[in-house]
Amino acid sequence: MIELDDGSLLASNDPQGFIHSVEHLVDQLAEGWELGRDLAATRDGAGLRSIAVFGVGGSGICGDVLKVVLGSSSPLMVEVCRGYGVPGWVGPDTLVFAVSYSGRTEETLEAYEQARQAGARIVVVTTGGPLAELGRRHGLPIALLRDGLQPRAALGLMLTAMLGVCESLGLGDYDSDVQETAALIKRRAIEYGSTRPTDQNRAKQLAAYMVGLLPVVYGSEGLAQVAAYRWKCQFNECAKTNAYSNFFSELNHNEIMGWSPSGIAPPMKPAVVVLRHCGEHPRIQDRISITLPLIADRLGVVEEVWAEGNSELARVMDLIYLGDFVATYTALAQGIDPCGVDLIDEVKRRLSI
């Protein structure tokens, strides 16, 4: 295992500087926010009844966060569509965000065309590629992001660009939420950053626990559920390990039986992280306090992480941000380049043949 406080070793295993893109998330929040608010939308938000976010991977998780943030204040239905198809309710009263950092995601490109034919109000969020070309051809508003990042490391840009568009269309007031989130993320970047030693760094400590164990991340339905799924995906892509996520109270009706003493022991000891926040339903708090002792004997590590923040945006991003650091450090601690996604690239290559 590589010492996480050895800067030269970290750098040698991170040739593309992925950890630095994680550390600079705060810059993305401000940049995406201004881009979205300044975007010249072709129509205002009058008559909208729903929002659909078309995106997969890192783009899809942005839609999940948007749904959490808007869900507490907006009467509009918000859904994330991760496939090639478009739901039947998408139409002229639907705001569609076609999101692909590369602009080449084939699922999003196909869904875009179906939404256009259905008369949806489309906003394109991308760095370029065929998606941007289609948007220009059809005269649609395009939030043109800066490139040079891994798609999963561009969450701040894509998310706040969409939030900025929503505010510009009169769908809500999110400026104070973005400012609160930016201030919190700026502080966390120092607390979790690569120059902060392990004995003062919660992210490095959690990463050290994860090495050699199976990451399992739990949250409560809503914002912590979304954050838990993001942790799972970051472990997959950065640390190249299987990982799992679930949420209370759903897991009390099925997954808890997988931890039964009479069940089949997993090949790797699980390391469970439970994501918490002050907005949990009181019965969810009861469920967590009952569940963890019941399954503790089957687990290698159990850690609880509490979010800070007054707004839904600040809380969900606080939980997500710690996970981004933990997954990256888990990769680097084992000499794994967090940027490499060779199997994802190979699937795309074979699909193109």
Catalytic residue list contains 191: no
* DSSP per position, 196-214: S-GGG-HHHHHHHHHTTSE
Q: How far apart are CA 1 and CA 173, in angstroms?
A: 46
Cβ proximity of 32 and 41 under 8 Å: no
CB atoms within 10 A of CB 148: 10
Per the residue annotation, which of 23, 167, 237, 312 is the catalytic one? 237
- Which residues on adjacent β-strands are paired with residue 81? 54
- Between the alpha carbon of residue 198 and those of residues 67, 134, 207, 213, 239, the distances in Å are 34, 47, 10, 19, 19
Question: Is 237 marked active-site?
Answer: yes
Residue 35: Cβ within 10 Å count: 19
Residue appearing with tokens 């939308």: 41
Annotated catalytic residue: which of 138, 186, 269, 348? 348
DSSP state of 15: T
Nearest to 142 by CA among 276, 41, 11, 293: 41
Residue 260 phi/psi, 5-degree rounding, is -60, 140
Instruction: Check if 240 is active-site.
Output: no
Q: Put residue 100 in one of left, alpha, beta given phi > 0 → left and psi -120 to 50 → alpha.
A: beta
Q: Of the candidates 273, 103, 260, which has an alpha carbon nearest to the alpha carbon of residue 203? A: 273
d(CA 188, CA 192): 6
β-pair type (270-276, 214-220)? parallel
Catalytic residue numbers read 237, 253, 348
